[in-house]
Amino acid sequence: MNLKFIDLSLQQNRIRNELDAAIERVLNHGQYIMGPEVEKFENDLKIFTGVSNALTCANGTDALTLVLMAWGIGPGDAVFIPSFTYIASAETSAQLGATPFFVDVLEDSFNIDPDSFQKGIDDAVKAGLNPAVVIPVDLFGLPADVNTIKKITRKHDIKILVDAAQSFGATYHGSRVGTLGDATTTSFFPAKPLGCYGDGGAVFTNDDDLADIVDSIRLHGKGNQKYDNLRIGINSRLDTLQAAILIEKLKIFPEELELRENVSSSYQSKLGSFIKTPQVSKGIKSSWAQYTLILENRDEVKKFLDESNIPSVIYYPKAISQQSGYSNFPSVSSGLKISEDLSKKVLSLPMYPYLKEKNIEYICETLKSYYD
């Protein structure tokens, strides 16, 4: 058995002809930068998410940067970030001279803990910082509890930037991810739920003014006249070729989300009685970027799986606050216990839409044999 952690080839086999034709169309028209496929894909994204503005860019990290730049975030501003996430969530605010401020997560969802966030605001104010932005991250595909976060931000002037790099396609009480914060970002890195064949990302917002500024910043701060730039910008565009590929992949994406749901249900039914499996609250649908377990003897279980040729990955072995480059940034006074604890216990299993039931059975039987 040659089991992969993520197998992208099965999806490619399915739509290879469509992909070849889409790539050939771009080679024929030759508009490699901001070609017609980019606009078409942005329209498709708007229809899919129900958001009024979808702006593509070079990657999911730039998407965060674009929004923070558009909001004018910089020195003196605190940007609240769950400590248990991928580094990009924290990197962008630090780059702009703002202060990433780490708060804890909830064990049940892996997502930002609203009480810890509230405490972090008080701490930041005491430290002389301006609480400016919170970045709830939809970790492993599960939307963060934005309604509870909103109850806190409403009392302050704090903007919500949802990092949905892992949760594109998920839904939260009837709304698609993309429509939930003041702005939302995602990534089309190949291994994300909707991935291209290179780097790509997008910003979503219902705020038309914000969208105009992001559109300008992603093109060097352009104004209406090409050589009169209005502001400092960056160069962050989605390649036309990647847009052409994503148009084809988005067509089968709704079905793939269902297939991911089936994989997670199958894992749940086979593992739920003896392992702490991921829980999804009522009214929420995950996009299942990862299927992540919490295990007391994680490293031993991982070794056991390795020996049975079952790939597994630790997302993430260190909380961000524990990483050398970030240890000087402030964190909430109540501590980051859950983030630090999770980094010792989490283990993600193979997850992709085309994972076969017989492979799921093998993975679950192997895990069961460890515990028997």
Q: Which residues bind ligand PLP (CB under 6 A)?
A: 59-61, 85-86, 88-89, 137, 163, 165-166, 187, 189, 199, 201
Cβ(253)–Cβ(194) under 8 Å?
yes
What is the closest distance, in whole angstroms, from the C-beta atom of residue 288 to ligand PLP in the complex?
Answer: 14
CB atoms within 10 A of CB 248: 19
**Residue with Cβ nearer ligand PLP (113 or 163):** 163
**Residue with Cβ nearer ligand PLP (37 or 199):** 199
What is the closest distance, in whole angstroms, from the C-beta atom of residue 55 to ligand PLP in the complex?
Answer: 15
**Residue with Cβ nearer ligand PLP (113 or 123):** 113
**Residue with Cβ nearer ligand PLP (56 or 153):** 56
What is the closest distance, in whole angstroms, from the C-beta atom of residue 220 to ligand PLP in the complex?
Answer: 20
Q: What is the CA angle 227-61-67, rounded to 5?
A: 60
**Residue with Cβ nearer ligand PLP (92 or 240):** 92
Longest dimension (CA), the chain: 70
Instruction: Report residue 271 as tokens.
Output: 């593992």
**Residue with Cβ nearer ligand PLP (267 or 316):** 316
**Residue with Cβ nearer ligand PLP (194 or 275):** 194
What is the closest distance, in whole angstroms, from the C-beta atom of residue 16 to ligand PLP in the complex?
Answer: 24
Instruction: Report residue 12 as tokens.
Output: 């490619």
What is the closest distance, in whole angstroms, from the C-beta atom of residue 64 to ligand PLP in the complex?
Answer: 7
Instruction: Report residue 260 as tokens.
Output: 């991911």
What is the closest distance, in whole angstroms, from the C-beta atom of residue 191 to ligand PLP in the complex?
Answer: 8
**Residue with Cβ nearer ligand PLP (112 or 295):** 112
d(CA 245, CA 41): 9
Cis bond upstream, residue 316 (ω within 30): yes
What is the closest distance, in whole angstroms, from the C-beta atom of residue 198 to ligand PLP in the complex?
Answer: 10
**Residue with Cβ nearer ligand PLP (143 or 367):** 143
